[in-house]
Structure 1
Amino acid sequence: RNISVIRFLKRRSCERLLSSLLFIPSGVPDVRERTLIAVKPDGVHRRLVGQIIQRFEQRGFKLVGLKMLKVWEGHKVVQASRVMVGHTNPAEAQAGTVRGDFSVLIIYRNVVHASDSLEGAQREIQLWFTGKELVNWDCCDQSFTCEL
């Protein structure tokens, strides 16, 4: 049976069909949730932008907009981002979080801003980006990195 599915897919040469058959069954949560993560001036001045981007990419989120700030997309990205960036107060941020690793002990120098909710993310994204500035692209590992 698997061979006939593979032959069908080869005949159609349709990777999107394969991913939709395997990874997008009905009832799956929206994997296109978006959030805004802005590297604050102290993070930019300290040349931490690349390391911060790397953490989000390694987590499986994809960058869909960049303007000296970034918008990330993925399954439960708002909640995961809040955990990844750590507590707003750098003194309370755990090691391994962006703020815990990179912030100095002053609240307004906590390196990044992360949207606090899905609604907040949608509002903030609209403030910084027009619809044409956000790129809709298929990430080759999206089906493997998305936690469902």
Structure 2
Amino acid sequence: MADIRGLTTTNQTTQPTDFSKAYRPVYVFYVNLALLQAEQSQGITLEDYTLEEEEEESIPCMHCGIKEIADDINDIFFCESCHQGVHQLCEDPPIQSFELKIDPWYCRTCCRNKNLPIPILEDTFLSHKRKREEEE
């Protein structure tokens, strides 16, 4: 790196000045002064790290009003549209276990309102279709 202030040349090559030899880079950071001087209303708290699942556990079933679940038999599902909970066995027709993998999941009421089909397992659908074809 050559300093063009006080340029010295020897045989058409540029030599660095004493200033350039002692040069140390300075790093500049740009900061939005308004953000830096703004008062923060509150710092980060433990509540900022709460998971949605913990909040969902306190939501009761929209049909029976009970918050608890019975092992893996009557799990509670949370609708992505109305944000209400519903037990597997309280819904009509009952929610199947494979629906745990469906994301986003909608309750039966929201499925009707959105004109969405109620989820059914592919194998079940095909077996019913074959039975109907055999009957015809």
Give the TM-score category using the shorter length. under 0.3
Task: State the structure with more CA Rg.
Answer: 2
Q: TM-score, normalised by structure 1?
A: 0.20
Q: TM-score, normalised by structure 2?
A: 0.21
- Larger helix share, 1 or 2: 1
Could you say which structure has the greater relative contact order, defined with CA pairs below 8 angstroms and 6 or more residues apart? Answer: 1
